[in-house]
A = this chain, B = another copy of it.
Amino acid sequence: MVITVRIILVGYGVVGQSFTSMLLRRRHETVKDYGLNPKVVAIVDRGGAAINAKGLDLEKMLALKRQKGSVSVDNEFGFRGKPPLEVIESVEAEVLVEASSTNVKDGEPGLSHIKTAFKTGKHVVTTNKGPLALAFPTLTELAAYNKVYLRFSGTVGGGTPVLELAKKCLAGDKILAIRGILNGTTNYILTEMAEKHVTFQQALGSAQKLGYAETDPSMDIDGIDPACKVVIMANWIMNKKLTLKDVDVQGIRGVTLEALEKAAKRGNTIKLVGSIDGEARVAPTEVSKHDPLCVSGVLNAVTFVSEFAGEETIIGRGAGGPETASAILRDLLDIRHNLADKMLM
């Protein structure tokens, strides 16, 4: 059974563009192998919106974005300056794909986008950690109340299916604790320091040169980004009701070369570990070099301590446009699957 899912895409940066590229490239398979016919009926970026109830021409949208900076300049379907909330409210669609940028101060504008989608009966797939970190319990309640799905695979582990592994593959087992290296930038910096014996400032500089760290790197190196991921895992996997303020967070600014060398003498190294085990925290932590969690460079790794299957670790790239776009598609397939089940009921 092929189910057509109309999509409003809000946020047309790296992730949003990767998502539409992927849809173009894989349309045939998506329909044939998965019974999902995704139809993007609106795209909203900072310049405004493009809207077509019959489905936008994604090739044209990508070209417009790249050449003119906004899809809203489209002659036929463009609406310059049209605000996202208006689009989410007024355009008929099954799913909002929320890919605007993360803001951990108040979660906006993502938080309002998601709430508005819920109120108008739309399912939400988001790659935006801010709203979840600040209001996970509220958002899941609101989704349940409005009988819609909220999915966010891309928020933890990028393309690596960390959340799905825990929810879908460890069914029947009980997850007792989680430990993870959840931020590629800080892991790159710590790996550089440990292996090349350079200072924190030097390693940060090289991360910035390579594009791994932002000009304002505070979200990463002060541990905010991994703390958001800890919140999401604690709520989704371990049924805890936490928000960002409940996480004890310490970044990597204080990690010295001396500390790394001392750890090395014990066969260990220092990693920025996010953990949920009684309490939720993010802190530089000594990890054995033999621990599967001990990955180097920009990799992410998460270990689930389960009651019966023991410790299981999943490792993969934690970020990147195509990777995160693949997570959006997985979420859409999951929603499609649930919708199909409901139709049968």
Contact = CB atoms under 8 A, between A and B. Distances in A.
Interface of A: 22, 29-30, 34, 158-161, 164-165, 168-174, 290, 292, 295-297, 299, 301, 306, 308-317, 320, 322-323, 325-327, 329-330, 332-334, 341, 344-345
Contacts of A297: 290
Given A169-B168, A171-B333, A333-B171, A326 B341 contact: no
Given A160-B312, A311-B316, A313-B314, 5 more contacts: A161-B309, A168-B168, A171-B334, A309-B322, A312-B315
A171 B34 contact: yes
20 contacts: A29-B174, A34-B171, A159-B309, A159-B310, A161-B169, A161-B309, A164-B168, A168-B168, A168-B169, A172-B332, A173-B330, A292-B292, A292-B299, A308-B323, A308-B325, A309-B323, A313-B315, A314-B315, A315-B315, A344-B344
A171 B332 CA distance: 10
B309 A292 contact: no
Contacts of A173: 159, 326, 329-330
A309 B290 contact: no
A172 B30 contact: yes
Identical chains bound together, number: 2
A295 B292 contact: yes
B327 A316 contact: no
Contact of A161 (B29, B312, B317, B329): B312
A252 to B, nearest CB: 20
A301 B292 contact: yes
A243 B297 CA distance: 38
